[in-house]
Amino acid sequence: MKHLFVLALLAGCAVDEDPDLSTETSEITGVWFGYDCEAGSIIGGTRVTDHVTASHGAYIAFDAGGSARFFRGIGAPAYFYGWARVMVPASGGGLSVQFDSDPPAVYALLASSTWMWIPIGGHELQVGTRQIKLTATTAGLLVDRILFVQASSFIPITDVYEAEAGSLVFPMTIGTQRLPATTKYVSVPNGSGDYAGRVDLDVAVPYDTTYILWARANAPSTADNSFRVGRDGSANGFAWDAAVTSTMGWTWNRPTVAQRIDITDVLSIASVDDGAKRDKLLITNDPGFLPIESSPPLVIAM
């Protein structure tokens, strides 16, 4: 029998899985389900806005009193802990979260000029049709994603590191692409030789475990797209082939394996192919988060 779970959010969100299914299971999050907010059912003063730092490249922005709904099938009763990825105006903000006909819970939010994850309580979800309604109590609140997990200790992150901010091992160098948009990157210049050069990035995560990595890269051919990821200066980690792009194009892609990272750690990205360029590294434990920040010319292969 199919059940529909309704998530009424401050504005719509996109479902990460078939709405007829109840949950997914990930080695990183455990049992979970989530939404990109721009794909939900919008009520009142709410609009969808494109932004390169939001999952799937868009988020929802609310006027005071704006809200939205989501639908979900729940096949077995379970307790879930909720999180929302938000950006809050300088005056602060508030988010009201209501499940079915229960009294709404109101969360006061401090101003933030960058995205941050905030907890939105724990909820016992029973079998059958469920409804969650999120309402903005102040204008200007932005919401990107909603995530529900069964693990009480889970803390979501979606942290981006600029590759050029790391320490470089020769012949890895910092370069700048001026068109179509200014982009700083690290690379081993063509002709310098393969298997040479490295960038080391100091990173921080909530706890020691495995995380999903994404990299924004330029890779004009399969001869200019490969690197390796390790820890603490080691290049003995896993191989990672970036998606092939056009000559000046950039796109995000992720490896097929997760990376173990400690609370404070050093990720080492070693060049395999000279000519491959890396712009940013994203670390996340949200399986549904999808970075989209391609720049013309468009990607020609994935």
Q: Quick check: 171 pLDDT over 60?
A: yes
Backbone torsion region of residue 222, taken as left when φ is above 0, otherwise alpha when ψ lies between -120 and 50, otherwise beta: alpha
Residue 65 and residue 88: Cα distance in Å, rounded?
Answer: 15
Strand partners, 61: 47, 142
**CATH architecture for segment(s) 5-155:** Sandwich (2.60)
Residue 2 and residue 145: Cα distance in Å, rounded?
Answer: 25
Tell me if the bond preceding 287 is cis, omega within 30° of 0. no
pLDDT cut 90: percent of the chain above it: 64
Count of beta carbons in the 10 Å neighbourhood of residue 25: 10
Model's pTM, two decimal places?
Answer: 0.89
CATH H superfamily, domain 159-284 = Galactose-binding domain-like (2.60.120.260)
Closest CA to 267 of 289, 282, 254: 282
Q: How confident is the model at residue 263 (pLDDT cuts 50, 70, 90)?
A: very high
Mean local confidence (pLDDT), 52-78: 89
Q: Are 291 and 192 in contact (CB under 8 A)?
A: no
Determine whether 4 is exposed, middle or buried from the number of CB atoms within 10 Å of its CB (0-12, 13-18, 19+): middle
The amino acid occupying position 13 is: C
Q: Quick check: 8 pLDDT over 70?
A: no
Q: Quick check: 24 pLDDT over 60?
A: yes
User: Do the domains at 5-155 and 159-284 have one common CATH topology?
Assistant: yes
Q: Are 8 and 132 in contact (CB under 8 A)?
A: yes
- What pLDDT score was predicted for residue 294? 59
Q: Quick check: 2 pLDDT over 80?
A: no
DSSP result, 252-298: EE--SS-EEE-SEEEEEEEESSTT-EEEEEEEE--TT--B---BSSP
- What pLDDT score was predicted for residue 298? 47
Q: Quick check: 16 pLDDT over 90?
A: no
Mean local confidence (pLDDT), 145-159: 96
- What pLDDT score was predicted for residue 67? 87
Write out pLDDT tens, residues 199-250: 999 999 999 999 999 999 999 999 999 999 999 999 788 999 999 998 889 9
Q: Please state the domain extents for the chain.
A: 5-155, 159-284
Residue 187 and residue 173: Cα distance in Å, rounded?
Answer: 6
Residue 263 and residue 272: Cα distance in Å, rounded?
Answer: 27
- What pLDDT score was predicted for residue 40? 84
Q: Are 11 and 60 in contact (CB under 8 A)?
A: yes
Count of beta carbons in the 10 Å neighbourhood of residue 171: 16
Mean local confidence (pLDDT), 7-29: 54
